[in-house]
Amino acid sequence: MRLQDKVALITGAGSGIGRETAVLFAAEGAKVVCVDLNDAAGQETVALVQANGGEAIFVHANVALAADCEGMIAAAEQAYGQLHILFNNAGISHADDDNAMTTSEEVWDLTMQINVKGVFLGCKYGIPALRRAGGGSIINTASFVAHLGAATPQLAYTTSKGAVLAMSRELAAIHAREGIRVNALCPGPLRTELLMKYLNTEAKKQRRLVHIPMGRFGEAKEIAYAALYLASDESSFVTGTEFLVDGGITAAYVTPE
């Protein structure tokens, strides 16, 4: 198994990419710390892991709060002794996120607190734990929109994901000699609740699909497999990357035949 004897902490584990990754990491031998603000969803992910014969615990945390992030790392080490993999995956895309003129300060601040500060705090408290374990892998969820910009305005979200890219590059450079790898995982448009709540008609879906060379939305499990590669020793010479898993959308805009 690719993560045998590893301990992984995943934020935003209650749904979408986080849930699929928790189940997959556990199936590959990892002990998984499932972190979420939604207790019921997080516990449900733990139950799924355990139903498949894996090992996991749930930890409640708001990643925008330093005390919660410090606590989730402490809980991981208390439960399993060490931490080897940190997947800073939690994030939001606010329904009222729009262009610079119409996006409120409140929406901007909330998005930055969760999507950027949450990654910073995860690394702030997680890196010392990875050091104690002798090294490890940090995966930060960014997005393809950090490369392209979004045609449908979502300025706070796009900006936050650009910040995650920049943060990941610098952390990778700083900690490479310590055996700590840091990579930004950049999903394309996915068939998850986060996106589908906006693309809530077939016409809206088709307008987005026209730009994806593969002609379909990605699935959360496909991103989980990318995270598995970055978490495993198979990617031992990979750090500081912008790992795009996007169906080709950043390679070219295409028009339908």
Query: What is the distance between the alpha carbons of residues 208 and 151, in angstroms, rounded to a whole number?
Result: 9
CA distances from 35 to 22, 57, 87 (A): 10, 9, 10
Q: With CA atoms as reference, report the closest residue to 119 among 194, 208, 12, 195.
A: 12
Along the 257 residues of the chain, how does pLDDT read in single tens digits?
Answer: 999 999 999 999 999 999 999 999 999 999 999 999 999 999 999 999 999 999 999 999 999 999 999 999 999 999 999 999 999 999 999 989 999 999 999 999 999 999 999 999 999 999 999 999 999 999 999 999 999 887 778 999 999 999 999 999 999 999 999 999 999 999 998 887 767 666 767 776 777 787 888 889 999 999 999 999 999 999 999 999 999 999 999 997 654 44
Tokens of 121: 């705090």
Radius of gyration of the chain measured on its C-alpha atoms:
17
Q: What are residue 9's DSSP bridge partners? A: 33, 86
Token pair 């994030």 is found at 91
Q: In the prediction, which pLDDT does 151 show? A: 73
Q: Per-domain residue ranges for the chain? A: 7-188+219-245
What letters, b where the CB count within 10 A reaches 16 and e where it falls short, cover 115-149?
bbbbbbbbbebbbebbeebeebbbbbbbbbbbbee
pLDDT of residue 235: 98
253 a catalytic residue? no
Select which of 157, 198, 225, 253 is catalytic: 157
Give pTM, 2 decimals. 0.95
What top-level class would CATH report for the domain 7-188+219-245? alpha beta
Helix or strand run (H / E) with residue 137 = strand 136-141
Q: Which of 236, 6, 25, 9 is nearest to 118 (CA)?
A: 9
